[in-house]
């Protein structure tokens, strides 16, 4: 048992745990209240066999979505713990922008629960976990790389190797929020590269590329391309939330 786990009952007594989404009292510091759990949208079946994009109004299996048919991706699947909605957004924003790094274990567990759908053989020591990198200036301002924190928790739970600096962000990019797919891709040209010191380790490896949110796929796509050039045998993308507005049911934010 880690020291933090041993001290958890005392900490919960002094600081009663609250749901990180809505602030309601919860039984333990590592979870959400029932209403917010219900507000999370978990990607389901049927879904694209290539990228995991959920299908609406389709019952058949083994199908590929239109984007994958038009432009087959270089990755070997996407694992999304949740779809990006009002509830998961609050989790991600709190984790990424408000310094609530204690959410990393919860988000990592959500990712781990979804991995068997894409990695049926299981994530183990034969895999390498590579976080999506931050540019050094953004890392300096934020103080941490949220993808590294997620990757560390996944590695601890699975036994997979963790290569924190497998990828490098060679140039600072503008914030990708609000940009279209083409603009995102242009902003990332030449931005991500393999760390030369880790190239030999990544050659022939099975890699789990970890990010907090996958939006257009431009960042993860640039990372996958770099890993493929380095000789990675397999690359699966894992994220805490995925932006697929067309797959969201029409529901209200239970924490609103």
Helix (H, G, I), strand (E, B) or coil at 44: coil
The band of 23, judged by pLDDT with boundaries at 50, 70 and 90, is confident
Q: Is the pLDDT of residue 100 over 80?
A: yes
C-alpha separations of 190 from 102, 113, 124, 148, 172 in Å: 33, 34, 32, 21, 10
The fraction of the chain above a pLDDT of 70, given in percent, is 84
Q: Is the pLDDT of residue 56 over 70?
A: yes
The band of 9, judged by pLDDT with boundaries at 50, 70 and 90, is very low
- Rounded mean pLDDT of the chain? 86
Helix (H, G, I), strand (E, B) or coil at 2: coil
Quick one: average pLDDT of 7-27?
Answer: 67
- CA angle, corner 73, sides to 70 and 77, nearest 5? 125
Model pTM greater than 0.75?
A: yes
The pair of three-digit structure tokens given for residue 216, joined into one six-digit string: 């257009």
Give kind and range of the element (H or E) at residue 210: strand 206-214
Q: Is the pLDDT of residue 61 over 80?
A: no
DSSP annotation of 170: -
Domain boundaries, the chain: 1-39, 45-247
Q: What is the spatial distance between Cα 242 and Cα 244, in angstroms, rounded to a whole number?
A: 6
Q: Is the peptide bond before 46 cis (omega within 30 degrees of 0)?
A: yes
- Cβ neighbours, 10 Å, residue 143: 8
Q: What is the spatial distance between Cα 125 and Cα 129, in angstroms, rounded to a whole number?
A: 10
- Asked if 107 and 240 count as a contact pair (C-beta separation under 8 A), the reply is yes
Helix (H, G, I), strand (E, B) or coil at 208: strand
Q: Is the pLDDT of residue 38 over 80?
A: yes
DSSP annotation of 51: T
Quick one: average pLDDT of 179-205?
Answer: 84
CATH 3.40.50.2020 is held by the domain 45-247:
yes
What's the pLDDT score for residue 201? 97
> Which is higher by pLDDT, 251 or 32?
32
Please, what sign has the CA dihedral across residues 241, 91, 164, 170? positive
Q: What is the spatial distance between Cα 102 and Cα 100, in angstroms, rounded to a whole number?
A: 5
- Measured N-to-C along each axis, helices 146-158 and 104-114 cross at an angle, to the nearest 10 degrees, of 60
């Amino acid at each position: 048992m880690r020291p933090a786990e041993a001290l958890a009952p005392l900490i919960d007594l002094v600081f009663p745990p609250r749901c990180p989404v809505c602030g309601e009292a919860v039984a333990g510091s590592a979870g959400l209240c029932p209403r917010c759990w219900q507000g999370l949208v978990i990607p389901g079946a049927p879904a694209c066999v290539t990228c995991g994009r959920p299908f609406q109004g389709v019952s058949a299996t083994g199908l590929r979505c239109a984007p994958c048919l038009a432009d087959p991706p270089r990755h070997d699947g996407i694992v999304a713990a949740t779809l990006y909605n009002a509830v998961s957004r609050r989790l991600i924003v709190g984790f990424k922008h408000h310094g609530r790094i204690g959410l990393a274990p919860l988000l990592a567990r959500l990712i781990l629960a979804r991995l068997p759908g894409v990695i049926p053989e299981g994530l183990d020591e034969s895999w390498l976990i590579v976080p999506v990198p931050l540019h050094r200036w953004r890392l300096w301002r934020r103080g941490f790389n949220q993808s590294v924190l997620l990757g560390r928790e996944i590695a601890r739970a699975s036994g997979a190797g963790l290569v924190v600096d497998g990828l490098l962000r060679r140039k600072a990019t503008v914030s990708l929020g609000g940009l279209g797919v083409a603009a995102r891709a242009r902003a990332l040209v030449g931005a991500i590269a393999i760390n030369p010191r880790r190239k030999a380790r990544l050659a022939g490896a099975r890699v789990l590329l970890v990010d907090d949110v996958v939006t257009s796929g431009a960042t993860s796509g640039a990372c996958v391309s770099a890993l493929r050039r380095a000789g990675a045998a397999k690359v699966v993308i894992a994220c805490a939330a995925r932006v697929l507005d067309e797959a969201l049911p029409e529901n209200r934010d239970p924490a609103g």
